[in-house]
A = this chain, B = another copy of it.
Amino acid sequence: MTNAKTDPRILRTRKLIMDAFMELSGKKEFKDITVKDITTEAMINRATFYYHFEDIYDLLEKVLSEVLLVNLDCDFYQNNDLNEESLVKIFIAITNFQKSLSNRCHRGYEDTIARIIREQLEVVLYKMLLNQNKIEVDEGLRITAVILSWGIYGASVEWRRDDKGMLPEEFIKLAIPSIISGVNITKE
């Protein structure tokens, strides 16, 4: 949670690299982007790239995670319970994120992207659950977060598949009762 103050040069350089990568993603397919392209655009040395990232796939992963987190983070999960409103917002954030990706060119990396979304989602949901239960750690809540993250991500896939022109918020609201209250047979 705390990083004991990282060197500002590191933050600055990482930002330069990530911004350069996002800029290039708007112009080329991922498979056509070389490390040299990125470092030239970022105005840093190629060796410096490898100081911060394993390789270009590692960069992809971290960029996507960060972009998604920006979409999710600031609005909630500080100071927000996991209720209908926040679930809708999260779902919208995910569909927005996927929409923004389809503009950029990451064909062939759908699985990676799916995993990243789900992992970030899990982290956020877990934090919100802990927060609203005022607990430090809890394995039960963690597993709940895992299940919810898979479920919500699956819903976003389903939403994209049947393009009935339904709005994301409409779509997810159909499922929210069973998420909030659980699968309760004695519904009536």
Contact = CB atoms under 8 A, between A and B. Distances in A.
Interface of A: 8, 11-12, 43-45
A11 B11 CA distance: 19
A24 B12 CA distance: 20
A19 to B, nearest CB: 13
A11 B45 CA distance: 13
How many copies of this chain does the complex contain?
A: 2
Contact of A12 (B8, B11, B43): B43
Contact of A44 (B8, B43, B44): B8
Contacts of A11: 43
A10 to B, nearest CB: 12
A87 B187 CA distance: 85
A48 to B, nearest CB: 10
Nearest to A45: B8
A44 B8 CA distance: 8
A43 B10 CA distance: 11
Contacts of A12: 43
A107 to B, nearest CB: 33
A49 to B, nearest CB: 14
5 contacts: A8-B43, A8-B44, A8-B45, A11-B43, A12-B43
Contacts of A43: 8, 11-12
